[in-house]
């Protein structure tokens, strides 16, 4: 399961579709609708929020809007649009790690996206996340 902290605008088509599927799976896990992935590290930061399902819905809403802006037809009905907003944190080192990881994927799949991301001086996080200084493993969650 990969739930990116980077803004979904940086993902290629394959990455955006995979992110949607993975985040929907994460929502099902957080709702108790599946038996697998219950303790997956990517879910820890959502589980630490006051309302994990609202947080994943907020996360999914941004992915949906990015997909819509590209002309993709993701199912809006999979998201509760009346979610309570929250903020989560992501470390600057985590974003750098994800940028490098994404670059390695894009180099093989989408040269145009690769070139765009390679020349980004600052990478933006998914709007749910606020950037803090820290190491890759320093996940901190707080409410807005």
For the segment 107-129, the average pLDDT, to the nearest whole number, is 96
Q: How confident is the model at residue 42 (pLDDT cuts 50, 70, 90)?
A: confident
Contact at 8 Å (CB) between 27 and 83?
no
To the nearest 10 degrees (0 to 180), the angle between helices 52-69 and 13-30 is 160
Residues 6 or more apart whose CB falls under 8 angstroms from that of 141 comprise 45, 48, 49, 88, 89
45-89 pLDDT per residue, tens: 899 899 999 999 999 999 999 999 999 999 999 999 888 888 999
Rounded distance between C-alpha atoms, residue 33 and residue 53, angstroms: 12
- Residue 38: pLDDT above 80? no
Where do the structural domains in the chain lie, given as residue ranges?
8-142
- Return the exposure string of 42-57: e unless at least 16 CB atoms fall within 10 Å of the residue's CB, then b: bbebbeebeebbbbbb
């Amino acid at each position: 399961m990969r739930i990116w902290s980077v803004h979904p605008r940086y993902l290629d088509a394959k990455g955006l579709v995979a992110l949607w599927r993975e985040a929907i799976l994460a929502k099902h896990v957080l709702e108790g609708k599946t038996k697998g992935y219950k303790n997956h590290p990517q879910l820890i930061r959502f589980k630490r929020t006051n309302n994990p399902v609202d947080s994943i819905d907020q996360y999914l809403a941004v992915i949906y809007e990015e997909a819509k802006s590209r002309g993709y037809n993701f199912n809006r009905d999979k998201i509760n649009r009346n979610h309570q907003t929250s903020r989560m944190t992501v470390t600057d080192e985590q974003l750098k790690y994800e940028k490098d990881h994404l670059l390695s994927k894009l180099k093989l799949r989408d040269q145009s996206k690769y070139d765009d991301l390679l020349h980004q001086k600052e990478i933006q996080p998914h709007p749910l996340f606020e950037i803090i200084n820290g190491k890759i493993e320093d996940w901190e969650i707080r409410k807005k």
